[in-house]
């Protein structure tokens, strides 16, 4: 397993290099001039040139790209153009608020969706199954933005169960992140419940499950020992696909609820043409995706001895 992990990490290096090269080319050759976007169209040529020198954009492109790679290796992404703050500190500060929303949201969504999917799969074809899947489809059909606005109006403004906007560190943060977590769970429940239900229905129809039922095994033993255990591979896959989004934040949730996470940081960087922040965020996403895919394969081998890491 150690050799497999090292080999996959080495294969991740060209992936990261490819991401950095594509990002660099897009922003330097196809995007709007960041200096013009930063100063505005009314800026003089002298001001534009002075800012290019300050940002290092007057250097040859290959020198800029090599400096970009140096930043990745040293994990020092320089300073933000907009705030002059070290980008590494900005990302470290934004990671906490983001994880305060995404980790509870993912855990709650997975537990609830697996439970609903398992129940619906065991009652496949019955009225309860059709009702649960109808609710799931209805939940999927409503826009993410609608849940945010309705939740803020009913639960925060009218009933005053939660805070509408803002964020505080420490224990007090839960009054600010509870509503975003609820919205995240409601949105994810529809998609995940249908996915897990299809997985469990397939497991319920397998021969070993039919044999266990014929031998008189209880429903609880069948669901948890034979169905849920053998469905761990697709469950792990579904969860690991969501892991990168844990540390990249949600643009809508964080912007509408005033959560100073990584999603808000990226949105502000896009609005201000803060190229160094966007570059650092892009590299961060690619690294997290590589790590999550490696962890996904390792977990396959842990839960299923038949899987071999090659």
Q: What is the pLDDT of residues 217-269, one digit of tens each?
A: 666 677 777 787 788 888 988 888 888 777 766 778 888 898 898 888 888 88
**Cα–Cα dist 136/192, whole Å:** 9
Contacting residues for 30 by C-beta, under 8 A, at least 6 apart: none
36-to-43, 50, 55, 271 alpha-carbon distances in Å: 8, 12, 13, 13
Backbone angles phi, psi at 86, to 5 degrees: -55, 130
* Longest Cα–Cα distance in the chain: 85
Q: What is the pLDDT of residues 265-303, one digit of tens each?
A: 888 888 887 888 888 888 888 888 888 888 888 888 777
Q: Is 219 in contact with 191 (CB distance < 8 Å)?
A: no
pTM over 0.85: no
Domain 90-303, classified CATH 3.40.50.300, yes or no: no
pLDDT band at 104 (very low <50, low <70, confident <90, very high): very high
- List the chain domain ranges: 2-74, 90-303
**Cα–Cα dist 199/105, whole Å:** 22
């Amino acid at each position: 397993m150690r050799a497999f992990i090292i080999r996959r990490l080495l294969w991740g290096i060209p992936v990261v290099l490819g991401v950095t090269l594509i990002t660099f080319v897009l922003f330097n050759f196809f995007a709007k001039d960041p200096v013009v976007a930063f100063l505005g169209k009314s800026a003089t040529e002298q001001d534009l040139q002075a800012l290019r020198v300050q940002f290092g954009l007057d250097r040859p492109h290959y020198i800029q790209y090599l400096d970009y790679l140096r930043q990745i290796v040293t994990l020092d992404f320089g300073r933000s153009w907009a705030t002059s703050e070290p980008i590494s500190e900005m990302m470290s500060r934004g990671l906490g608020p983001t994880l305060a929303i995404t980790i509870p949201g993912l855990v709650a969504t997975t537990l609830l969706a697996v439970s609903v999917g398992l129940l619906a799969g065991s009652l496949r074809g019955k009225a309860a199954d059709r009702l649960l899947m109808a609710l799931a489809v209805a939940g999927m059909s409503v826009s993410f933005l609608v849940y945010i606005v309705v939740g803020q109006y009913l639960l925060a403004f009218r009933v005053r169960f939660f805070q509408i906007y803002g964020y505080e560190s420490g224990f007090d943060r839960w009054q600010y992140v509870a509503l975003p977590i609820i919205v995240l769970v409601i949105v994810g429940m529809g998609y995940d419940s249908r996915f897990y239900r299809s997985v469990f229905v397939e497991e319920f129809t397998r021969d070993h499950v039919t044999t266990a039922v014929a031998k008189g095994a209880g429903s609880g033993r069948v669901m948890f020992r034979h169905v849920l255990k053998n469905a761990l591979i697709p469950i792990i896959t579904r969860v690991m696909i969501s892991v990168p989004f844990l540390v990249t934040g949600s643009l809508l949730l964080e912007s509408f609820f005033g959560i100073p996470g990584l999603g808000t940081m990226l949105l502000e960087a896009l609005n201000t043409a803060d190229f160094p922040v966007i570059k650092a965020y892009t590299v961060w996403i690619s690294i997290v995706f590589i790590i999550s895919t490696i962890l996904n394969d390792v977990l396959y081998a842990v839960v299923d001895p038949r899987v071999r890491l090659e």
